[in-house]
C-alpha cells in the first residue's frame, strides 16, 4: 500500500514525478533512473534515463501500480539520449506525454507522444516540437481549455544557451545582482502538438516588485517548473538547484508575472529536487523525490508524496521532508 513520505515503488528507481488526476485515479509520470558507473558532472551525464514507466494509484492509501514501459528512446527518431523529466496532459479526448531529450546534435529539445489511455503506451511524433528547447516540460490545461507549456533548466539543462531564443555554447551567466534566468512559457496549439508562439521568459519578483536576482540562490529559478491553480490564482513552483529548496510564486495570469511567496519543501537526501502538486478528493498533495532508496546516490532516486496544506491567505504551509 502507498504510504506518505515513503517510496511509491522500490523495484525501479524513479524521479521527477508529474502527478495528475485522470479517470478518478492519480497517475504519476516520472523519469526512470538507471544505475551505471558513468561520469558525474554539471552537464547531467550521470542521469542516463532512457524510457518512461507510468504509475497509478486508485487512492492515496491504495497500492501503486507500475504499468510498465510506456515509451523508450529507441522508438523516438530524433532522440540521441537522456529522456529526462516528463509531464502529461489530457485534451481532445487524448493523452499527451511531453518529454525532454537530447537531439542528434546533443541539444535538449521537447518532444510529445500521444495515447488513448493515461498509462500509454505512447506513440511519439517524428520530430521534436519546433521552437522548443531545454528540459522539464510542465503543462497546464486552463479552465478556458487553453494549454500552456512551461520548461527550462540551468547548467545541464542548457537554458542559459537560449537567452536570445537561439542556441549558443558561448553564453555568459548573468551577474549575481542581475535578474535571474527565468523559466519559459508558451501557449500550445489546439492539437497540443506545437507551439502557438515564441516562448517567453517568466518574470518572478519580490513583494516590492523587484526581479529575483540571479545570485539569490534561496529564491532563484534553477529547474523543475510546475503550474497549478488554487482559488483562481496561478502558482508557479520550482527548484532552486544549489540550495535544494522547492519554492513558489503566485500570479494572476498563466504567463505571470509572479510574486515570490516562500518555500514549500526543505532539502531532501540527494542533490536534485523536482516535484508536482495535485488535488485529489478535496485534498492537495506534493509529489517529490529523494535518494533515500539508494542511500544517497544522487542519480538513483525514488518518488514519494505527502499532503500539502494552505493558510487562509492562500500561502502554502512549508514542510520539512522528514517530519510529519
The rounded distance, in Å, linking the Cα atoms of 318 and 139 is 24
Distance (Å) of CA 102 to CA 81, 105, 301, 308: 5, 7, 21, 34
Q: What angle do CA 250, 256, 258 make, to 5 degrees?
A: 35
Give the torsion sign (CA, 232, 116, 54, 77): negative
What is d(CA 101, CA 57) in angstroms, rounded to the nearest whole number? 27
Q: Annotated catalytic sites, by residue?
A: 16, 223
For residues 315 and 308, what is the distance between their CA atoms, to the nearest angstrom?
11
Joined together, the cell numbers standing for residue 283 give 485534498
Q: Which residues contact 123 (CB under 8 A, 6 or more apart)?
A: 113, 114, 115
C-alpha cell at 256: 505571470
Amino acid at each position: 500500500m502507498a504510504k506518505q513520505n515513503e517510496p511509491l515503488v522500490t523495484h525501479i528507481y524513479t524521479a521527477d514525478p508529474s502527478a495528475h488526476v485522470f479517470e478518478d485515479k492519480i497517475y504519476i509520470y516520472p523519469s526512470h533512473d538507471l544505475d551505471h558507473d558513468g561520469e558525474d558532472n554539471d552537464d547531467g551525464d550521470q542521469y542516463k534515463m532512457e524510457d518512461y514507466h507510468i504509475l497509478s494509484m486508485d487512492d492515496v492509501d491504495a497500492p501503486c501500480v507500475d504499468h510498465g514501459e510506456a515509451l523508450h528512446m529507441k522508438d523516438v527518431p530524433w532522440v540521441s539520449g537522456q529522456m529526462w523529466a516528463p509531464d502529461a496532459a489530457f485534451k481532445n479526448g487524448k493523452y499527451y506525454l511531453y518529454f525532454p531529450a537530447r537531439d542528434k546534435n546533443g541539444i535538449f529539445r521537447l518532444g510529445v507522444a500521444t495515447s488513448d489511455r493515461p498509462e500509454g503506451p505512447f506513440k511519439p511524433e517524428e520530430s521534436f516540437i519546433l521552437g522548443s528547447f531545454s528540459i522539464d516540460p510542465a503543462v497546464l490545461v486552463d479552465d478556458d481549455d487553453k494549454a500552456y507549456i512551461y520548461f527550462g533548466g540551468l547548467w545541464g539543462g542548457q537554458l542559459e544557451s537560449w537567452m536570445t531564443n537561439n542556441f549558443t555554447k558561448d553564453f555568459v551567466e548573468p551577474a549575481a545582482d542581475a535578474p535571474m534566468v527565468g523559466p519559459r512559457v508558451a501557449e500550445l496549439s489546439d492539437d497540443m502538438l506545437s507551439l502557438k508562439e515564441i516562448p517567453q521568459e517568466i518574470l518572478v519578483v519580490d513583494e516590492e516588485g523587484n526581479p529575483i536576482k540571479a545570485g539569490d540562490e534561496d529564491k532563484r529559478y534553477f529547474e523543475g517548473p510546475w503550474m497549478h491553480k488554487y482559488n483562481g490564482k496561478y502558482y508557479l513552483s520550482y527548484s532552486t538547484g544549489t540550495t535544494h529548496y522547492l519554492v513558489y510564486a503566485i500570479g494572476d495570469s498563466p504567463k505571470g508575472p509572479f510574486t515570490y511567496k516562500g518555500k514549500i519543501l526543505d532539502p531532501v537526501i540527494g542533490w536534485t529536487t523536482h516535484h508536482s502538486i495535485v488535488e485529489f478528493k478535496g485534498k492537495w498533495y506534493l509529489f517529490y523525490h529523494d535518494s533515500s532508496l539508494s542511500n544517497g546516490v544522487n542519480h538513483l532516486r525514488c518518488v514519494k508524496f505527502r499532503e500539502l496544506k494552505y493558510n487562509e491567505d492562500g500561502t502554502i504551509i512549508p514542510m520539512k521532508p522528514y517530519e510529519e
